[in-house]
Structure 1
């Protein structure tokens, strides 16, 4: 889920995750009120169990939204956010660099 439009999102995914299939995305060309709403849309429309959905983010809000929606949270520590934004939370996967992230989803 991203606020970027679908075309740009697909270009980014191909550039960084070549060979990885993302089965469902919600992008900025589809209006949503919150990240939790977007994650709920993904869960409901895709038919996937929430435990099989991963939300990758670099901000505390991303981790909190994933947890509120009942999906897996992946925090990329090399992004813009800081651990202090969600230090009270513990149920997330942390990746230190892009290669860690790629290994999880390859």
Structure 2
């Protein structure tokens, strides 16, 4: 029986790509990195994170230092992060069935909380922020231990290969959100595919 569904945020719950492109381009202009053109977004989705960094002349080691500046841009611009179509209805349905909803993301907790509440979602139990983009598995283990959940009682919904990798490290079932950041060609490993948000509810009821 599923007791908890953990979600990634950007690209899974929030359609935040346009806002983050603006934030990144502002940062890149100041730091001398290559900017992102809207017309190349589809190509970038087919690249791994190291490939994207090379394409943008952006060293991966700078990601932890760049993230706070991107979040500051979003806060100062008061940008509104929209939800993908069908996401609120999906979350409402899961909540109505008594399922524990959690979010583990590399985004800042206050930005996530503001987005959810501004879209009428005020029942998410936990929002955990991972400082490093490849350490979500540590946050997953923390959540499982906190609530004494078994691996069979939880699954994770994400849109990137690193989400699938985090599930592999923790033994969770992974559901890949095909509407998100990574192209299907990048996804490998044991995972179920969600083409629309309703698929996530169906998976929760079947599992």
Residue pairs, 1:48-87, within 5 angstroms: 48-87=149-188
Q: Which runs of 4+ in 1 moved over 2 A?
A: 4-16, 21-25, 98-106
Match of 1:10 in 2: 113
TM-score by length of 1: 0.71
Q: Per the alignment, in what secondary structure is the counterpart of residue 73 of structure 1?
A: strand
| Structure 2 residue runs without a partner (length 5+) | 1-103
Structure ID, larger Rg: 2
Structure 1 residues 46 and 9: CA distance shift in structure 2, 3 A: farther
Superimposed CA distance per residue, residues 48-72 of structure 1 (whole angstroms, 9 cap, x where no aligned partner): 1122222211111111211211112
TM-score by length of 2: 0.40
Is 2:200 the counterpart of 1:101? yes
Structure 1 residues 24 and 54: CA distance shift in structure 2, 3 A: farther
Match of 1:45 in 2: 146
Higher helix share: 2
Quote the RMSD (CA, aligned, Å): 2.8
| Structure 1 residue runs without a partner (length 5+) | none
